[in-house]
Chain A
Amino acid sequence: TQLLEQSPQFLSIQEGENLTVYCNSSSVFSSLQWYRQEPGEGPVLLVTVVTGGEVKKLKRLTFQFGDARKDSSLHITAAQPGDTGLYLCAGETNTGNQFYFGTGTSLTVIP
């Protein structure tokens, strides 16, 4: 059973387009993180959100944590080929020692 579901699983868009990736769960998380992973590398942390309703911006990337802290979204404006990669969300519960990772969204931005 996957604690965090991401959608879409695969996304291929043209350079300059906007996109949104969703991360959903029925569980409540004390914090949620987004990572980007490129082939042959480990995931790299992009952002951590901890407050329900929180919105964080990182250049062209906007991250939102749901009010109930069960879901999150990542919006990319004017996608660039350098945004290509596997995007992973990861949630931390109050009871565990680990982050639970989502299934991942593979993004390809075509020049």
Chain B
Amino acid sequence: GAGVSQSPSNKVTEKGKDVELRCDPISGHTALYWYRQSLGQGLEFLIYFQGNSAPDKSGLPSDRFSAERTGGSVSTLTIQRTQQEDSAVYLCASTRNYGYTFGSGTRLTVV
């Protein structure tokens, strides 16, 4: 597609529920990143996919967080047993060379 597409744009969930966030990157972009942005904060790295290589999961804050990238394209970020501190905007970005192209993000609110 023309840009990075994320869905849903907003998600309100109850504490303890699982959520899935989707990212559809730009076609041909081999690298895909997930970042988290809390209110008034910079971006916190979560996970990185590059081609068929093993993902860099070093930024995932706990084992409740996981991500997959199927067929080198669409990625899903899953948060299990959500907590209130998981509330944030989750941003996906893809890149081929220099510079990320970001999606508009998913605003997650855990109540």
Q: For residue A33, which residues in chain B have a CB less than 8 angstroms away from its CB?
A: 98-100
Residue of B nearest to A45 (CB): B99
CB-based contact A103/B41 at 8 Å: yes
Which chain B residues numbered 13 to 54 have a C-beta less than 8 Å away from chain A?
Answer: 33, 35, 40-45, 48, 50
A97 to B4, CA, bound (A): 20
Interface residues on B, range: 20 to 34
Any chain A CB within 8 A of the CB of B101?
A: yes
CB-based contact B99/A42 at 8 Å: no
Q: For residue B4, which residues in chain A have a CB less than 8 angstroms away from its CB?
A: 42
Interface residues on A, range: 20 to 34
CB-based contact B101/A45 at 8 Å: yes
Rounded to whole Å, the gap between the CB of B57 and the closest CB of chain A is 11
Rounded to whole Å, the gap between the CB of A32 and the closest CB of chain B is 11
Task: Give which listed residue, B42, B59, B91, B93, contacts A103 with CB less than 8 A.
Answer: B42
Residue of B nearest to A2 (CB): B42
A48 to B50, CA, bound (A): 21
Given A97-B48, A98-B45, A104-B41: A42 and B104 interface contact (C-beta under 8 Å): yes
25 A-B Cβ contacts within 8 A? A6-B42, A31-B98, A33-B98, A33-B99, A40-B105, A42-B91, A42-B105, A43-B43, A43-B102, A44-B102, A45-B99, A45-B101, A48-B99, A90-B43, A97-B50, A98-B45, A98-B56, A99-B45, A100-B45, A101-B35, A101-B42, A101-B44, A102-B42, A103-B42, A104-B40
